[in-house]
């Protein structure tokens, strides 16, 4: 059997989303056209927008469709910065590269000053640090960006507190991993901007959305037809948008079931390898993500061995040309580069079963034994 435990990377499309997409693909019409075909496709897109708005608890006009979560993050970080006279950007140390890299780019090219918010050993941001920076420099801060939950560890962040501390400062939140997994309300959180992505929630690849508060205008990354509030140009990708909405509306994600599988897996791992460490275990986490350190191993060896046993998991961290680098997230939590490179991310989704967990646990001990041997020859 083969077992897919990398749902945080991407998760299977729901059948209902595939069907919605197929129907839309067969349909003619540019949503911006004024004739009957165009109007019909436009209606599909706007229906979808309303469904997604309902799911994130925002106004429909606050949904701006983008080509990916990364694009939405870039639009938010750069747009909110460009929209401000202020130069300081505050982000957490554990943000996804889709947030960190545009922030670094603004430092290098646009004179921004970047302040990174540290996290504690369980991976939760330091609110006292945020409070003191805001207290001292509120008048200089262009934006704050903190993710709703971390993609490597699943650790949830206190976004409501961040918004409260921020006061008038615009706050952006990358909610790509949290959306549909845990309760999420754009309105209640009081955010300026939020990022979501379809392929993490049973929708297709290549479609995301920036949820941007009504009447907040930010400069565009992509100029052209001005289709999305003049903030994002490009012909609307109707089939993907429709499928995104169908996946969200179906509400097929069973958080309780996924969490039970994750817990079963973690207790099995700790039983087999008592020295294993579950990163972020002390914090509130998403139901489906488990990040585990196996001391004395190298995660790229473990991944190869798991893969050859037909269990798909992830080293969790970003890759440079496929080369595994120490995770900036685990390093921020205080792990050394060696320890962080001994860690794997297993992420569970709606399609997983207890049989998947049992199979993964059955191959794990031999994989770890070989991984330990491979690492010890490497140190020779």
Catalytic residue annotation:
319
- By CB under 8 A, is residue 9 in contact with other proteins? no
Beta bridge partners of 65: 209
The minimum distance between CB 378 and other proteins, in angstroms, equals 6
Which parts of 298-357 interact with other proteins (CB under 8 A)? 300-301, 303-305, 307-308, 321-324
Q: Count residues near other proteins (CB under 8 A).
A: 19
Q: Which CB, 112 or 303, lies closer to other proteins?
A: 303
- By CB under 8 A, is residue 97 in contact with other proteins? no
Binding range to other proteins, per CB under 8 A, among 130-138, 165-173, 241-249, 366-374: 366-374
The minimum distance between CB 330 and other proteins, in angstroms, equals 17
The minimum distance between CB 375 and other proteins, in angstroms, equals 8
Q: Which CB, 214 or 380, lies closer to other proteins?
A: 380
- By CB under 8 A, is residue 2 in contact with other proteins? no
Q: Which CB, 163 or 303, lies closer to other proteins?
A: 303
The minimum distance between CB 331 and other proteins, in angstroms, equals 16
Q: Which CB, 184 or 367, lies closer to other proteins?
A: 367
The minimum distance between CB 304 and other proteins, in angstroms, equals 5
Residues of this chain that interact with other proteins (CB under 8 A) are: 300-301, 303-305, 307-308, 321-324, 370-371, 373-374, 376-378, 380
């Amino acid at each position: 059997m083969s077992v897919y435990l990398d749902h945080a990377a991407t998760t299977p499309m729901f059948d209902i989303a595939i069907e919605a997409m197929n129907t839309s693909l067969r349909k003619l019409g540019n949503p911006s056209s004024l004739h009957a075909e165009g109007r019909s496709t436009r209606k599909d897109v706007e229906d979808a927008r309303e469904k997604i708005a309902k799911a994130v608890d925002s106004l429909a006009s606050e949904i701006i469709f983008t080509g990916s979560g990364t694009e939405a993050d870039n639009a938010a970080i750069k747009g909110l910065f460009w929209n401000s006279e202020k130069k300081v950007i505050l982000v957490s140390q554990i943000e996804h590269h889709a947030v960190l890299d545009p922030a670094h780019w603004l430092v290098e090219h646009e004179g921004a000053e970047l302040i990174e918010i540290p996290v504690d050993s369980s991976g939760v941001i330091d609110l006292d640090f945020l409070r003191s920076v805001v207290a001292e420099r509120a008048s200089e801060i262009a934006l704050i960006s903190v993710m709703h939950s971390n993609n490597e560890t699943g650790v949830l962040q206190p976004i409501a507190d961040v918004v409260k501390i921020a006061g008038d400062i615009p706050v952006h939140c990358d909610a790509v991993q949290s959306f549909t997994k845990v309760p999420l309300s754009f309105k209640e959180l009081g955010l300026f901007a939020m990022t979501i992505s379809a392929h993490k929630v049973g929708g297709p690849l290549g479609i995301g959305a920036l949820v941007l508060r009504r009447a907040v205008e930010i400069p565009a990354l992509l100029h052209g037809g001005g289709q999305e509030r003049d903030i994002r140009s490009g012909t609307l990708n109707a089939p993907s948008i429709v499928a995104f909405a169908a996946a969200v509306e179906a509400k097929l994600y069973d958080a309780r079931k996924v969490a039970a599988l994750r817990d079963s897996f973690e207790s099995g791992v700790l039983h087999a390898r008592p020295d294993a460490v579950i990163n972020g275990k002390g914090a509130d986490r998403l139901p489906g993500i488990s990040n585990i350190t196996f001391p004395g191993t190298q995660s790229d060896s473990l991944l190869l061995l798991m893969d050859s046993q037909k269990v798909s998991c992830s080293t969790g961290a970003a890759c440079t040309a496929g080369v595994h680098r120490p995770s900036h997230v685990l390093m921020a939590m205080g792990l050394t580069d060696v320890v962080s490179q001994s860690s794997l991310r297993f992420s569970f989704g709606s399609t997983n079963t207890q049989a998947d967990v049992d199979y993964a646990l059955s191959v794990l001990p031999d994989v770890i034994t070989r991984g330990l041997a491979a690492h010890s020859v490497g140190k020779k």
